[in-house]
Amino acid sequence: MMNFVEWCNNNQGFVGAILSFFTIMISIIALYISIRLAYIPYKKRLVINTYIDIIGNKYTLSLTVANAGNRIIGLNSIVVYNKNTYIGSVDKQGFIEPSHTCEFCVDLDLDIRDTKFDRDEQIEIKILDTEGKEYTFKTDFKLYPVKRTPK
118 has a pLDDT exceeding 80: no
In Å, the largest CA–CA distance within the chain is 93
Q: How confident is the model at residue 147 (pLDDT cuts 50, 70, 90)?
A: very low
Please give the pLDDT value at position 3.
85
Average pLDDT, the chain: 83
Rg for the chain (alpha carbons), in Å?
A: 28
What's the CA gap between 117 and 140, in Å, rounded? 11
Secondary structure of residue 138 in the 3-state scheme: strand
Of the two residues 139 and 34, the one the predictor is more confident about is: 34
Please give the pLDDT value at position 148.
40
Cross-strand partners of 123: 82, 139
Name the residue among 93, 76, 82, 85 with its Cα closest to residue 130.
76
149 has a pLDDT exceeding 50: no
pTM of the prediction? 0.68
145 has a pLDDT exceeding 60: no
Q: What is the DSSP string of 105-133?
A: EEEEEEETTT----TT-EEEEEEEETTS-
Rounded mean pLDDT, 26-54: 89
Q: Are the CB atoms for 74 and 94 separated by under 8 Å?
A: yes
Rounded mean pLDDT, 67-71: 90
Q: How confident is the model at residue 72 (pLDDT cuts 50, 70, 90)?
A: very high
